[in-house]
Amino acid sequence: MSLVIGNPLPQTRFDVCWLEPLSGGQQWSKLMGCALIMYCYSFSQRKSLWNVVLVHAVSGFLGTIIENVWVAAANCKIMVPGDTASSYAYVLLVNELNWIPHESTIIVYSYLKTRVILKGVMLERMVNYFLGGVFLLYVACRANIGRLRFQHNLLSDDDIALAHNYVYILWIIADVVLFVLLIWNVVDHLSKSLAASSKVIKTLLNSSLPRFAVILFNTMVLSVLNFVLRTPGLDSMTLLTLKNLSKFTSLVKGTYPTLMLLDVLMTKFMLYGRDAEDSGTGGIGGRSILGTMSTAKASEGASPGLRV
Euclidean distance between CA atoms 257 and 56, whole angstroms: 7
Q: Is the pLDDT of residue 8 over 70?
A: no
Instruction: State residue 307's pLDDT score.
Output: 65
CB atoms within 10 A of CB 300: 11
Question: Which pLDDT band holds residue 93 (cuts at 50, 70, 90)?
Answer: very high
Which amino acid does the sequence have at 138?
Answer: Y
Euclidean distance between CA atoms 43 and 308, whole angstroms: 12
Higher pLDDT, 192 or 162: 162
Q: Which residues contact 50 (CB under 8 A, 6 or more apart)?
A: 41, 44, 264, 308
Q: Is the pLDDT of residue 304 over 50?
A: no
> Nearest 5°: phi and psi at 43?
-105, 0
Q: Where are the alpha helices (DSSP H) in 3-47?
A: 14-19, 25-41
Instruction: State residue 14's pLDDT score.
Output: 66
pLDDT-wise least confident of 37-41, 202-206, 249-253: 202-206
Higher pLDDT, 275 or 169: 169
Q: Is the pLDDT of residue 248 over 80?
A: yes
Residue pLDDT, tens place only, 149-160: 999 999 988 899
CB atoms within 10 A of CB 107: 20
Euclidean distance between CA atoms 93 and 230, whole angstroms: 24
Strands (E), 5-137: none
Higher pLDDT, 219 or 190: 219
CB atoms within 10 A of CB 40: 17
Higher pLDDT, 139 or 287: 139
Helices 195-228, 96-115: crossing angle, 10 deg rounding: 150
Mean confidence (pLDDT) of the chain: 81
Q: Which residues contact 114 (CB under 8 A, 6 or more apart)?
A: 178, 181, 182, 185, 204, 208
pLDDT-wise least confident of 142-156, 229-243, 252-266: 229-243
Question: Which pLDDT band holds residue 41 (cuts at 50, 70, 90)?
Answer: very high
Question: Which pLDDT band holds residue 36 (cuts at 50, 70, 90)?
Answer: very high
- Using a 10 angstrom Cβ sphere, with 0-12 exposed, 13-18 middle and 19 or more buried, the burial of residue 60 is buried
pTM: 0.83
Angle at 215 between CA 214 and CA 220, to 5 degrees: 100
Q: Is the pLDDT of residue 169 over 90?
A: yes
Which amino acid does the sequence have at 274?
Answer: R
Higher pLDDT, 20 or 195: 20
Residue pLDDT, tens place only, 99-143: 999 999 999 999 988 887 777 788 888 999 999 999 999 999 999
Question: Which pLDDT band holds residue 266 (cuts at 50, 70, 90)?
Answer: confident
Higher pLDDT, 294 or 94: 94
Euclidean distance between CA atoms 148 and 136, whole angstroms: 19
